[in-house]
Amino acid sequence: DTAVSQTPKYLVTQMGNDKSIKCEQNLGHDTMYWYKQDSKKFLKIMFSYNNKELIINETVPNRFSPKSPDKAHLNLHINSLELGDSAVYFCASSQVSSPFYNEQFFGPGTRLTVL
Protein backbone atom coordinates (compact mmCIF):
# COMPACT_ATOMS: atom_id res chain seq x y z
CA ASP A 1 0.00 0.00 0.00
CA THR A 2 2.95 2.30 -0.63
CA ALA A 3 1.78 5.86 -1.20
CA VAL A 4 4.83 7.12 -3.13
CA SER A 5 7.18 4.54 -4.58
CA GLN A 6 10.48 4.93 -6.39
CA THR A 7 12.62 2.53 -8.37
CA PRO A 8 15.36 1.66 -8.11
CA LYS A 9 16.30 2.21 -4.48
CA TYR A 10 20.00 2.01 -5.27
CA LEU A 11 21.71 2.84 -8.54
CA VAL A 12 25.44 2.47 -9.12
CA THR A 13 26.75 3.42 -12.53
CA GLN A 14 29.76 4.69 -14.43
CA MET A 15 30.40 8.27 -15.45
CA GLY A 16 28.96 9.08 -18.84
CA ASN A 17 26.08 6.60 -18.66
CA ASP A 18 22.40 7.49 -18.99
CA LYS A 19 19.99 6.35 -16.28
CA SER A 20 16.37 6.78 -15.24
CA ILE A 21 14.58 6.84 -11.91
CA LYS A 22 10.86 6.16 -11.76
CA CYS A 23 8.29 7.47 -9.32
CA GLU A 24 4.65 6.56 -8.84
CA GLN A 25 2.05 7.83 -6.38
CA ASN A 26 -1.31 6.23 -5.64
CA LEU A 27 -2.68 9.11 -3.58
CA GLY A 28 -4.53 10.82 -6.41
CA HIS A 29 -2.41 13.95 -5.95
CA ASP A 30 -2.14 16.51 -8.71
CA THR A 31 1.45 17.65 -8.10
CA MET A 32 4.71 15.74 -8.01
CA TYR A 33 8.25 16.85 -7.22
CA TRP A 34 11.85 15.76 -7.56
CA TYR A 35 14.23 16.78 -4.78
CA LYS A 36 17.98 16.18 -4.55
CA GLN A 37 19.69 15.52 -1.21
CA ASP A 38 23.43 16.11 -1.23
CA SER A 39 26.13 14.49 0.87
CA LYS A 40 25.49 16.99 3.68
CA LYS A 41 21.84 15.90 3.75
CA PHE A 42 20.66 19.24 2.32
CA LEU A 43 17.49 18.95 0.26
CA LYS A 44 16.73 21.10 -2.75
CA ILE A 45 13.87 21.22 -5.25
CA MET A 46 14.70 20.23 -8.81
CA PHE A 47 11.41 19.95 -10.67
CA SER A 48 7.70 19.97 -10.12
CA TYR A 49 4.81 18.84 -12.29
CA ASN A 50 1.20 19.83 -11.80
CA ASN A 51 -1.34 17.79 -13.76
CA LYS A 52 1.43 16.56 -16.08
CA GLU A 53 2.65 20.09 -16.76
CA LEU A 54 6.14 21.22 -15.81
CA ILE A 55 5.72 24.17 -13.46
CA ILE A 56 8.98 24.38 -11.55
CA ASN A 57 12.38 23.92 -13.11
CA GLU A 58 15.11 25.11 -10.81
CA THR A 59 18.65 25.68 -11.98
CA VAL A 60 19.34 22.12 -12.98
CA PRO A 61 21.68 21.03 -15.81
CA ASN A 62 19.75 20.11 -18.94
CA ARG A 63 21.22 16.62 -18.65
CA PHE A 64 18.32 16.10 -16.25
CA SER A 65 14.99 15.65 -17.98
CA PRO A 66 11.80 14.91 -16.08
CA LYS A 67 8.83 13.28 -17.75
CA SER A 68 5.31 12.86 -16.49
CA PRO A 69 3.27 10.43 -18.61
CA ASP A 70 0.27 10.90 -16.32
CA LYS A 71 -0.61 12.51 -12.98
CA ALA A 72 0.48 9.43 -11.03
CA HIS A 73 3.96 9.10 -12.52
CA LEU A 74 7.01 11.32 -12.65
CA ASN A 75 10.24 9.94 -14.01
CA LEU A 76 13.70 11.47 -14.01
CA HIS A 77 16.14 10.74 -16.81
CA ILE A 78 19.77 11.74 -16.43
CA ASN A 79 22.14 11.83 -19.41
CA SER A 80 25.92 11.70 -19.34
CA LEU A 81 26.16 11.13 -15.60
CA GLU A 82 28.87 12.99 -13.71
CA LEU A 83 30.50 12.33 -10.35
CA GLY A 84 28.68 15.34 -8.88
CA ASP A 85 25.32 13.75 -9.65
CA SER A 86 25.90 11.27 -6.83
CA ALA A 87 23.17 12.01 -4.30
CA VAL A 88 19.87 10.74 -2.99
CA TYR A 89 16.92 11.70 -5.17
CA PHE A 90 13.50 11.93 -3.55
CA CYS A 91 10.18 12.03 -5.29
CA ALA A 92 7.23 13.59 -3.47
CA SER A 93 3.62 14.37 -4.16
CA SER A 94 0.95 16.68 -2.82
CA GLN A 95 -2.54 17.91 -3.62
CA VAL A 96 -2.25 21.57 -4.45
CA SER A 97 -5.96 22.20 -4.83
CA SER A 98 -5.39 25.17 -2.58
CA PRO A 99 -2.01 26.81 -3.04
CA PHE A 100 -1.80 27.45 0.65
CA TYR A 101 -2.09 23.98 2.10
CA ASN A 102 -0.10 21.03 0.86
CA GLU A 103 1.29 18.22 2.96
CA GLN A 104 3.91 16.41 0.98
CA PHE A 105 4.41 12.69 0.88
CA PHE A 106 7.88 11.45 0.07
CA GLY A 107 9.10 8.35 -1.68
CA PRO A 108 11.83 6.21 -0.10
CA GLY A 109 14.58 7.84 -2.14
CA THR A 110 17.00 6.58 -4.78
CA ARG A 111 20.65 6.59 -3.83
CA LEU A 112 22.63 7.27 -7.00
CA THR A 113 26.36 6.60 -6.98
CA VAL A 114 28.40 7.60 -10.01
CA LEU A 115 31.84 5.99 -10.23
Partner 1 sequence: KNEVEQSPQNLTAQEGEFITINCSYSVGISALHWLQQHPGGGIVSLFMLSSGKKKHGRLIATINIQEKHSSLHITASHPRDSAVYICAVSIAGGTSYGKLTFGQGTILTVHP
Instruction: Give the footprint of partner 1 on this chain (CB under 8 A).
Output: 31, 33, 35, 40-45, 48, 50, 55-56, 88, 90, 92, 94, 96, 99-106, 108-109, 111
Q: Which is nearer to partner 1, 13 or 57 (CB)?
A: 57
Closest contact distance (angstroms) between CB of 56 and partner 1 is 5
Asked if residues 20 and 26 have their Cβ atoms less than 8 Å apart, the reply is no
Alpha helices in the chain (DSSP H): none
Sign of dihedral through CA atoms 24, 27, 33, 35? negative
Report how far residue 82's alpha carbon sits from residue 114's, in angstroms, rounded to the nearest whole number.
7
Closest contact distance (angstroms) between CB of 9 and partner 1 is 9
DSSP state of 41: -
Q: Which is nearer to partner 1, 52 or 108 (CB)?
A: 108
Q: Which is nearer to partner 1, 81 or 107 (CB)?
A: 107
